[in-house]
A and B are shown apart, each in its own frame.
Chain A
């Protein structure tokens, strides 16, 4: 079920895909873009991991302080079950109650209107199938981070998430915005961490830190030398 990351990282979602949300509002996917989007592929008849994923994401997002849902990024839960409707989305939301009301502005639960789930999920490398034995869909548990232009920036796997990983993935997804001076902090965070594909988490970019460390060493050497020189110079002129 693993996504072929080298092939699908950077691939675009179709902005003209028409979606219907839990309140029955119809809109194009492109309206959600312009900010990073966390995409969660689910289905609303699910009583297994889907509600858990949603709940876990809500819990983690409430801990992300650097970015604000709705203002800085959005979340989109998309159903890949063709039987789902706006109605089932609303029922799912009401039943699980995992997504707090305060988050609902920036977090919409939608069904696909203009495109088949196969095609939409396939374009992101997301594969799933219906298992008669389990009477459920088998699918990977993955958060898909989209850039403001709607390209896949990162896949983060697992039902257990942590706020730091989500925050760093958001920085990754919005790397170009960093040209604005206010985002220097994000730029530094983004540069200091790098993504570990094998373990699916962010870790410190050790090589960069080692480089910065050695630069500081060089600067200290020079600074120390200049300081000693000035001190000695001061002493000789006093004498």
Chain B
């Protein structure tokens, strides 16, 4: 097992693991940035840096790295790569070399993003990069553009690859209606990526053209329009939330079904109502990010209704999840703890999103800590918990070894407590008016205590994550040997040895008419 073999690998499992390592690295960096920000905010006025630009760069780095460097690659890079071919009984993906190219591009992208911290004039445009600021700042907007373009391109070729793989390479007998929920969810996410990433690519390219080549796409004095950027950006970036949400809820479905030893409640409702509904509606709700941006009134009020309607497919997905617990036989190993944690975090995050769908309530809530708290619950920590759940769940398959159950559970509880400490407080002071993206809250000094509580929570959260990652590293190196199917799952990825060899199965599997990926394995 040498390094060269890993770098030039075309095996989907190794590509997946490379994705995981890269995205966990991005997660670590983004997490450190979060801690730096929390440290800065622990007192009113300057705390650890006297230069607001430093804080703004951390904020930019935290958002961009978490979303583009950690969540999307971990979910659609690692999980999709590792699990999809195994779940559909394929030897590999349809285009293994393209797959290798996409992971290289991903590494180029996160290296670019990391360069942010060593270059002069790093980008300070937030992960949204709104003009006119992004076109007049001294910060390096081009860096932002290139990072987005490269990661976007990596994601697109990944999408083409997986859609093809699932379409053509399923095991004999594995019909569309027997696919794992995770596979369906990830397909939905890739469809969204393919449709919407080009729009984001165009938008971020145009701001760099404006800044460096003197065009006027977003300069109103010369016929450009400031609002068009915001529309194009959110036209991608709201669906991007579902690019994260769908795979993570897919992971949770796998885990909940396995640890309940139960069939998925109303499979067709989950797939055709939940997944398809989210995909269909996701492109029609972006204006809720622009409720206070000066759009025409009729547009804002129109998208309030579509935004509220997205609660229907999302609600169906939650019903399916809770229904899967019903009459199950539930055990509580670490992956299941994380999965149930996601269920609760997502419940809080999803419901606190309802006020944000209402145009008139958003007039006060927009751009405050309430929004930040909400999207951390619903997407950021729920997604991260799901990624941790998934890594724990497939850990025996990936490494052939077991992690430490005790430290896994300890890690979960610490993170869970830290999360709620930080983000509940955040929503609370947000409702009271604390605006986001503030280096110094000197005219909101009444929130100092709350900020200190959040800083404490962030440290606790960080400790929990470190415990989990250490648990993986130690488990991968020295853990006891794992059986091939430790969770007693019926799904195809557990039917091969752990870790699976190149080609996955000596003889490619086929499934019978009464086979189903969920429920207790037939002995």
Interface residues of A (CB under 8 A from B): 175-176, 178-179, 194-199, 202-203, 205-208, 210-211, 213-215, 217-219, 221-222, 225, 229, 232
Contacts and interface: CB of A to CB of B under 8 A. Distances in A.
A204 to B, nearest CB: 8
Contacts of B329: none
A215 B198 contact: yes
B202 A214 contact: yes
A195 B223 contact: yes
B202 A218 contact: no
Contacts of B191: 222
A114 B282 CA distance: 55
Contacts of B201: 214
- Among B160, B202, B217, the one with the most A-chain Cβ atoms within 10 Å of its Cβ is B202
Interface in B145-190: 160, 163-164, 167-168
B222 A207 contact: no
Contacts of B198: 214-215, 217-218
Nearest to A221: B194
A13 to B, nearest CB: 21
Contacts of A211: 199, 202-203, 228, 231-232, 235
Interface string B218-255: 10111111001101100100000000000000000000
A208 B195 contact: no
Nearest to B221: A197
Given A210-B217, A229-B167, 17 more contacts: A178-B296, A195-B220, A197-B222, A198-B221, A199-B223, A205-B224, A205-B225, A207-B232, A208-B231, A211-B231, A213-B202, A214-B198, A214-B202, A215-B235, A218-B199, A219-B195, A225-B163
B144 to A, nearest CB: 17
Contacts of B221: 196-198
A215 B223 contact: no
Interface residues of B, number: 32
Contacts of B228: 194, 205, 207-208, 211
A178 B415 CA distance: 50
B371 to A, nearest CB: 24
A225 B160 contact: yes
28 contacts: A194-B220, A196-B221, A197-B220, A197-B222, A198-B223, A202-B223, A205-B225, A205-B228, A207-B203, A207-B224, A207-B229, A208-B228, A208-B232, A211-B203, A211-B231, A211-B232, A214-B198, A214-B201, A215-B196, A218-B194, A218-B195, A218-B199, A221-B160, A221-B194, A221-B195, A222-B191, A225-B163, A229-B168
Q: Which of A175, A179, A205, A206 lies at the interface centre, i.e. has the most chain B CB atoms within 10 A of its CB?
A: A206
Nearest to A219: B195
Contacts of B202: 210-211, 213-214
Contacts of A202: 223
A197 B223 CA distance: 6
B218 A176 contact: no
A176 B195 contact: no
Contact of B197 (A196, A213, A218): A218
A178 B75 CA distance: 41
B297 interface: yes
Contacts of B224: 194, 205-207
Which A-B residue pairs are the 5 nearest by beta carbons? A196-B223, A214-B198, A179-B298, A218-B195, A207-B217
B340 interface: no
